[in-house]
Amino acid sequence: MQGTKLSELLEVYIVKRQRLKWSTIDWTRHAWKRLLDALGDMEVAEVSSADIEDFENFLYGELAPHSVKSYLKAVRPVFQWAQRRDYRSDNPFEGFKLPKVADTEVHVFAQAELCDLHVAASQRWRALVRTAVTAGLRKSEALNLRVDDVDFSAQTITIQSHRETQDTWAWTPKNYERRVLPLTDDLSTLYCRLLAELPNGQPYLMLDEKRYWTLRQRLRNGQLKDRNRLWPDDNFSNAFRRLRESAGLKRGTYHDLRRTCLTNWSYHLPPQELQKLAGHADIATTMRYYLGIRADVLGLAKKHTIGATGLEPATS
């Protein structure tokens, strides 16, 4: 692999790593462009640890620390793969420590805010909101939820991979693992109402009729993009923002609804069980929901400090 340029390496990496999701590929391309801007189109074997430090400094000149870490994490796997495939004898990231970034707040919706969203929402959006709040689904998981993924008798929702047919597109969960989630009574009722309105033959529970038939036609014509397979509703984020504003709420994303669910579960479930329900590949991601300083934790800490247990130092 002598003489391989950085730009060439990325293309080979993407072709060989067929399990990479579209979103990962897109973000890696974006980060790799930054790498090329910083270092130029060097030969892969010539990139040194000092070059990686230069790339980090280049990023710090334009971005916040959290973004710098994200870009470094995006390009690092490519060099790890290049070492395994003998494009170079070592890994320039060896011994390189990613920058430490302060933990950001896990934003959750209050119960009153959820009530306001429910009042302002259409039936479809009520189901989408409750799906995230009570079952912890991601946006992609909710939009790709099929009718046969819901078991009303067992009261479960199954997140699982789907093969492509002439009427449905291939889709895989973020961590590739199948997981089973609870279906609450109120969400079951909302799903039944959606089912009553779905046209015969529509397999996707959360897509409106017009959007599904548009995507199915693109699929049959070979024109369906990977982005649409992952997020079938292009207007989703804007629609949620309008819903939030109609409800009089100043902040919050759809993913914050999922965070609300996981935060609630964290009060009652051990980390390993929450990790499984959430579909987190890394337990460190799950632990964010346990490490927040909550009011009840602060109260317990105050109660059990030495000074609060009658062990005050003697006075003279």
Q: pLDDT digits over 47-67, tens only?
A: 999 999 999 999 999 888 889
Instruction: Give the per-residue pLDDT at 214.
Output: 96
What is the pLDDT confidence band of residue 293, given thresholds at 50, 70 and 90? very low
Q: What domains lie within the chain, and their CATH numbers?
A: 6-84 (1.10.150), 111-258 (1.10.443.10)
Instruction: Give the per-residue pLDDT at 316.
Output: 46
Q: DSSP class of residue 207?
A: S
150-151/156-159 β-pairing: antiparallel
pLDDT at 315 over 80: no
| Bridge partners (DSSP) listed for residue 171 | 162
- State both tokens at 272: 């390993």
Give the sign of the dihedral formed by CA 274, CA 175, CA 132, CA 108: positive
Instruction: Give the per-residue pLDDT at 201.
Output: 86
User: Between the CA atoms of 37, 43, 46 and 50, what dihedral angle is there, to the nearest 10 degrees?
Assistant: 10
Instruction: Give the per-residue pLDDT at 289.
Output: 84
CA distance linking residue 280 with residue 271, whole number of Å: 11
C-alpha closest to that of 60 among 25, 27, 96, 101: 101
Q: pLDDT digits over 72-108, tens only?
A: 999 999 999 999 999 999 999 999 998 887 766 778 9
Instruction: Give the per-residue pLDDT at 180.
Output: 97
Using CB atoms within 10 A of its CB, is residue 67 exposed (0-12), middle (13-18) or buried (19+)?
Answer: middle
Are 2 and 46 contacting, i.e. CB atoms less than 8 angstroms apart?
Answer: no
Three-state SS for 266?
A: helix
Q: pLDDT digits over 106-158, tens only?
A: 789 999 999 999 999 999 999 999 999 999 999 999 999 999 999 999 999 99
Residue found under tokens 């293309």? 11
For 294-306, b/e burial (b = at least 16 CB within 10 A) is eeeeeeeeeeeee
Q: pLDDT digits over 148-193, tens only?
A: 999 999 999 999 999 999 999 999 998 888 999 999 999 999 999 9
Whole-model pTM: value is 0.78
